[in-house]
A = this chain, B = another copy of it.
Amino acid sequence: MTALDPEKRYRIGEFGALVGLSTYTLRYYEDEGLIRARRDENDQRYYTVNDIGWIGFLLHLKGTGMKLTELKQYVKWRAQGDQTIPQRRDLLEQVREASLAEIREREASLKVLSHKIDWYDGKLDHQIADNESFAEYLSQFSDQD
């Protein structure tokens, strides 16, 4: 069991590599108020393993399709304490619905794409094209190809 030292200071470059963000992006996020970094006696930023949690959470939110502006609003509310929990909850709920809708749309599109791949596979299987059944097959998707 290698225990990670909670005191270890990661400088911005090292930390960026750890969380998968460039130094540019880390500073950019800091400018935008999404994250904070502590500073050493020479004003150089440093992070600890503790900071991974929050950034990971942020990246998950971003991964749902949440925009930076929304993230900024969220962080702002968070800084205002527990009385903004309803707003934060509602924002996340709204993001969740939008994200689920996008997934559903994408899945529908993927279905069409997959059928097309299947059709290509069929066409590749037996070189003799049966254009009659092709047209029939395609009519399922209102796809003229």
A residues within 8 Å of B by Cβ?
A: 50, 52-54, 56-57, 59-65, 78, 82, 85-86, 88-89, 92-93, 95-96, 99-100, 102-103, 105-110, 112-114, 116-117, 120-121, 123-124, 129, 138, 141-145
Closest Cβ–Cβ distance, residue A58 to chain B (whole Å): 9
- Main SS of the interface on chain A? helix
Q: A56-B141, A63-B108, A96-B110 are in contact. List 11 more A-B contacts (CB 8 A).
A: A53-B144, A56-B143, A64-B110, A64-B113, A65-B106, A88-B120, A92-B113, A96-B114, A99-B109, A99-B110, A103-B110
Q: Assess whether B96 is in contact with A100, with CB atoms less than 8 Å apart.
A: no
Closest Cβ–Cβ distance, residue A90 to chain B (whole Å): 9
Q: Determine the chain B residues whose CB is within 8 A of the CB of A116 once the complex forms.
A: 57, 92
Compute how far the CA of A122 lies from the CA of B113 in the bound complex, rounded to whole angstroms.
41
